[in-house]
Amino acid sequence: MRQPYLEVGKIVSTHGVRGEVRVDPWCDSPDFLRQFKTLYYDKTGTKPVKVLACRPHGNIAILKLAGVDTVDAAAALRNKVLYMARTDAKIADNSYFIQDLIGCRVVDADDAGKVYGTLSDVSRTGANDVWHVTDENGKEYLLPAIPPVVIDTDIDSGTVLIRPLRGIFDDAD
């Protein structure tokens, strides 16, 4: 099931003397956070906070949040996770949130009866993401998330169809 509120990053420290916070973004880039006028302090959306300003600063984002006007107020938010409303996010077609991929069944595209396991984690490597697939025995396999391998992703059914490269799973000749 798609969650209505998703984690977007964590406040890691203060910035300056006017209550700005430094956010470690858990998304493709700090620029992604610029699209939000409201973020949330909780995963249920009951604690909204207005985003007054957002700017990338290297690999982090500097946010000015409503009601946070001093260094002390900003410091009190350290280690707080920020959430976004899914309906507020604009993402490209055939793009997915990692939180939606985790838990999907990984199935052979040519043999629907062959289930490789469950997508348990995603590593961001730069060139392409690497999906961690854990089989029923707990063994983990690393799968490059590239078009020749990932054939179809259906978040609603919780299924990913793949055509694995030889040698990824122990069945290679």
17 located within any domain: yes
* Mean pLDDT computed over every residue of the chain: 91
pLDDT in the model for residue 171:
61
Note the residue count of the chain. Answer: 173
Q: Are both 124 and 73 inside the same structural domain?
A: no
Question: Residue 103: pLDDT band by 50, 70, 90 thresholds?
Answer: very high
pTM > 0.75: yes or no:
yes
Tell me if 120 sits within 8 A of 136, measured CB to CB. no
**To the nearest whole percent, how much of the chain has pLDDT over 90?**
71
pLDDT digits (tens, 9 = 90+) for 113-169: 899 999 999 988 878 889 999 999 999 999 999 999 999 999 889 999 999 888 888
Same domain, 51 and 111: no
Q: Euclidean distance between the first and final Cα of the chain, in Å?
A: 38
What does the pLDDT read at residue 1?
Answer: 58
What local confidence, expressed as pLDDT, does residue 68 receive?
96
Kindly tell me if the per-residue pLDDT of 52 is higher than 70: yes
- Predicted confidence (pLDDT) per residue in 63-75, tens digit: 999 999 999 999 9
Instruction: Output the domain CATH number for residue 138.
Output: 2.30.30.240
In a domain, residue 133? The reply is yes
Residues 81 and 9 in one domain: yes
Residues 63, 111: one domain? Answer: no
Domain harbouring 18, CATH code: 2.40.30.60
Q: How many CA atoms lie within 13 A of 91 on its CB side?
A: 16
**Burial, 14: exposed, middle or buried (Cβ in 10 Å; 0-12, 13-18, 19+)?**
buried
Q: What is the pLDDT of residue 107?
A: 94
Give the Cα-Cα-Cα angle 93, 94, 98 (nearest 5 degrees): 115
Other Cβ atoms closer than 10 A to 35: 13
In a domain, 137, yes or no: yes
Does any domain span residue 171?
no
Name the amino acid, one letter, at 45. Answer: G
Amino acid at 65: L
Tell me the sheet residues that pair with 122: 131
Residue 137 structural domain: 98-162
State the Cα–Cα distance between residues 4 and 56, nearest whole angstrom: 25
